[in-house]
Amino acid sequence: MNQVTPPLSRSGSGFARLLNRWGLPAPLFLGYAGLLLFMIGDGVESGFIAPFMADNGAGTEIKASYVITVYGVAVMLASWLSGALSDLWGPRRVMMIGLAIWLVFDVLFLAVAVSGENYPLMLVFYGLRGFGYPMFAFGFLVWITAVAPVARLGAAVGWFYFAFTGGLPTLGALVASFTNPVLGQYGTLWVSVALLALGGLLAIFGVRQRTGYTRLAPPDVKPVQSLVSSVSIAWKKPRVGVGMLVRVINTAPEFGMLVFFPTIFIEEIGFGESRWLLLVSVIYGTNIFFNLIFGVLSDRIGWRTTIFWFGAIGCAVSILLLYFVPIAMGAEYYWLALLVGALYGATLAGFVPISALLPSLAPENKGGAMALLNLGAGAAAFVGPAIVSVFLGPLGAAGVVIVFAALYLVAAVMVRYLKLPDETAKAIEEDKSLQEVGEKVVTT
């Protein structure tokens, strides 16, 4: 049954009313703050973990990549489980489990595997740690979709990705740039444990909103039934399955381009490593702020409209520009590369409303919809590099980029199919009207 969220009331502090007007659910504010700290802690290692493992037990970067691959598999599975288990146990408990997994296995990784330079234990401990951050972060995302007013869900999700990508990799890498010279890489990894623990505890114990404390699924739904329904929803509600594929396409080219773009931009074009890294920072830095901008905008112009024009069509154009403009203009026009990089980062954020759209396609099974959405997010990390490995040889770099652009156009076609059910669309309009009335009340 669709529920309409009541309008904002006069009660609460001025700060809380301001947060609500910005589309950030005030009762979840400390959760967003905790998520940012958590993801900073998780992102600290992003720029050096592979060579660090190679020097501390793995032996080579290839063997280190095997460890990271195991970690990636765990991330993908946990991304799916986070939605299904949040439905069954409640988002807060899933977040607690995710935090515990990350802390326990990261401490074992650092104190036992790394200290003893034990490669098999690296595989086990670092791999199992991969179950941690998706269960924490995506568990909180399920909490957001269960609590936020449906008319402001796009903005609420935008704030989630603002905190998520602000920490991983952006601010996390920045922290490492300051701590590595002082504490070394090993000391920096212990700093990441402290930051992540602080953020996790802040979110779990700071948020008192009660919806996330209890299961979201009906009482008669059993554990196996809940897990099965989180998969079967893909064919019971085909639009949710299509939405999952759109989510895969969203970031698959992003992961894929990072496989072969560094060599092209650093060596072939001649930017050098420092200017390539600055370009990556511009892409992700722009993406952080546009996650929020498009989240808010999508509540006004429509989730599908935002994903179609700014996300799918925008990325199809911007990824072509990101590759072909620097190739054509050369290293002396580096500023043009920064501009098209910023454009790609901005258009990537155009897909943010997919996290609001999918659960709204199945309001009676939001946890299952979020499980598929998160599975798509995890699968993208494999699909992107796989496309590169298949097409780079026969088509070359330019051909792979064109394949990526074509995928975004396919996503645009798919998005046209993701029409909300009439009753859900009506509920959103009613909720939007109530929220507007509430805003008028609190401003008089």
With 0-12 CB in 10 A as exposed, 13-18 as middle and 19+ as buried, what is 328? exposed
**pTM for the full model?**
0.86
- Average pLDDT over every residue of 163-183: 90
Averaged pLDDT, 129-146? 95
Confidence band for 402, pLDDT divided at 50, 70 and 90 = very high
Per-residue pLDDT, 2: 40
The pLDDT score that the predictor gives to residue 12 is: 57
Domains and CATH numbers, the chain: 22-216 (1.20.1250.20), 231-444 (1.20.1250.20)
Give residue 433's pLDDT. Answer: 64
- What does R_g of the chain's alpha carbons equal in angstroms? 22
By the 8 A CB rule, do 316 and 325 touch? no
In this predicted model, what pLDDT tens digit does every residue of 11-24 receive, in sequence order? 457 888 889 888 89
- Encode pLDDT of 92-133 as tens digits: 999 999 999 999 999 999 999 999 999 999 999 999 999 999
CB atoms within 10 A of CB 389: 13
Give yes or no for a contact between 129 and 96, defined as CB atoms under 8 angstroms apart.
no
Looking at the chain, the whole-number percentage of residues with pLDDT higher than 90 is 64
Q: Measured between alpha carbons, how far is 398 from 176 in angstroms, rounded to an integer?
A: 34
CB-neighbour burial class of residue 444 (10 A; exposed 0-12, middle 13-18, buried 19+):
exposed
Peptide bond connecting 219 to the previous residue in cis, omega within 30 degrees of 0 = no
Task: Assess whether pLDDT exceeds 80 at residue 175.
Answer: yes
Contact assessment for residue 349 and residue 161, using Cβ atoms and an 8 Å cutoff: yes
Placement of tokens 């290293």 in the chain:
331
Q: How far apart are CA 294 and CA 296, in angstroms?
A: 5
Whole-angstrom distance, CA of residue 231 vs CA of residue 84: 9
User: Does the pLDDT of residue 434 top 90, yes or no?
Assistant: no
Instruction: Say what the pLDDT of residue 431 is.
Output: 65
Q: Token match 């049954």: residue?
A: 1
Whole-number pLDDT of residue 1: 37
- How far apart CA 388 and CA 400 sit, in angstroms, is 6
User: Which amino acid type is present at position 242?
Assistant: V
